[in-house]
Amino acid sequence: MKIICWGTIFVFGYNAVCSVLKGLGDSKSPLYFVGIATIINIVLDILLVGPFGMGTAGAAYATITAQGISFVISIFYLRKHKVFFSANAHKKFTFQIDKLVSILKVGLPTAIQMVVVNTAYLLVTGMLNQFGTSVSAASGVGLQINTFAGMPCWAIGQAVTAMVGQCIGAREIKRARKVVKIGLLLNISVTLVVVIGVQIFAEQLILLFGSTSAEVINDGVYYLRVCCGVNSLIYAAMYTLDSFAIGVGAANIANP
């Protein structure tokens, strides 16, 4: 945890750069940066944990190194395409309180929401651990699968935020409404397909994590039956509308 926390600056920098690129309509470059970071992370994990025998610390160093390299690559990308950097770039970087306030109005409510949600997850995990190893293991596996199943929903939501923000910036209000309508329909449809797949192959998905205990498998399947069901469709609709609210700058509405 100490090593990972020391590398938080790389995570922040990378996400900041990728947010700028997504805001400009470039969602492919951030994907490439993630791909590079992933490959580097895997290679360093194998080397540092294996031949170098650094154990858990090696895995942590591998993670922050991969994130740091990805961040540096993204900065060079910005320089190459002159998104921020130019001959007189140093003259353009000034502290503007109004821009800072605007960023905080959007970012702070979202940050608070993430803190609240993750705190709730920690509390629930703590309570589940009291019910024994099988329940704890099943909930952990179920949460991982449920998180993976939610990725399409989050990706569409992020796209809605970026596109709506662009529309509002261009004062294309009708287009912004069209974006959120299409995004809502697409998100619910994609989530429905994912939910059906999880419900049909719940046991097989649990087995992918190497679970051999019948109790863990049964508890894991029960977790997915409940947590990745109709409620996921409601969440998809809510997340799309929340993303729309963030795109128009009303993050306090999206994160009550």
Question: Are residues 116 and 202 both part of a single domain?
Answer: yes
Helix (H, G, I), strand (E, B) or coil at 236: helix
Average confidence (pLDDT) per 10 residues, the chain, 256 residues: 89 83 80 88 91 90 91 85 60 71 80 85 84 85 89 91 86 91 95 95 88 85 90 93 85 62
What is the span of the domain harbouring residue 249?
97-254
Burial class of residue 139 in the structure, from the number of CB atoms within 10 Å of its CB (0-12 exposed, 13-18 middle, 19+ buried): buried
> CB–CB of 190/152 below 8 Å?
yes
Q: Which of 92, 122, 151 is the last residue of a domain?
A: 92
| CB atoms closer than 10 angstroms to residue 181 | 12
Question: Are residues 176 and 129 both part of a single domain?
Answer: yes
> CB–CB of 167/173 below 8 Å?
yes
Q: Which of 71, 92, 113 is the last residue of a domain?
A: 92
pLDDT confidence of residue 125: 81
Structural tokens at position 87: 């001959």
Total-model pTM: 0.72
